[in-house]
Amino acid sequence: MSYSDHFKHADDIITHWKTTVPKISDDLLKTKYVGFSAIAGVTVYELAIKQILTEFAARKHKVLGNYAGSHLTRMNGKIKICDLRKDFVRKFGDIYANRFDRILKEKQRLYLIAQKRDFRNSYANMINWRNSFAHEGNTNATATFQEVVSAYEDGKQVIHCLAKTMTR
């Protein structure tokens, strides 16, 4: 199973909601779909990250893979880019942390040119929206459902950069 297979869960939910949410007239209910979408998106990000890191560790050494798999079960949503770099990627060595930075920077430059959006900001927004909704029960009054969908798609780029980084 590829790490990107995890995206299918949120992709299917969002695809369904794209037909449902525009028909909803209750603005409060619409904002709740924003929160639910952020939860679904960040959940699959976390699953993909765990798989990428665990498989990388296992390719290095079976025991390291077992350790990483058990350690990453306690990730607890600490998947901001700075956390990924410091708490996970860097522990495999500075070479991987530097590679992650380089890949992110280049992908960000190309993505800005092509999409006119910063996927790093989108990824951070997804995490913030998810945390606000999941931990505080706050619905985001400023983000629309379509903005969350776009941010979710943009944020996948961080995961792709991580996967590209964690190769031997």
Chain segment 96-148, per-residue pLDDT in tens: 999 999 999 999 999 999 999 999 999 999 999 999 888 877 776 678 999 99
Question: 22: how many CB neighbours lie within 10 A of its CB?
Answer: 10
**pTM recorded for the entire structure:** 0.93
How far is 38 from 56, CA to CA, in rounded Å?
27
Segment 11-31 shows an average pLDDT of: 94
Interior CA angle at 97 toward 109 and 114, to 5°? 15
Sign of CA dihedral 132, 133, 135, 138: positive
DSSP assignment string, 115-144? HSS-HHHHHHHHHHHHHHHHHH----SS--
Residue 69 scores a pLDDT above 90: no
Per-residue b or e along 64-96, where b marks 16 or more CB atoms closer than 10 Å to that residue's CB? ebeebbeebeebeeebbbeebbeebbeebeeeb
Q: Which of 63, 92, 161, 87 is nearest to 120 (CA)?
A: 161
Comparison of pLDDT for 62 and 145, the residue scoring more: 145
Comparison of pLDDT for 20 and 71, the residue scoring more: 20
Comparison of pLDDT for 76 and 86, the residue scoring more: 86
Q: How many residues does the chain have?
A: 168
Please report where in the chains the tokens 């350790």 appear, as a residue. 67
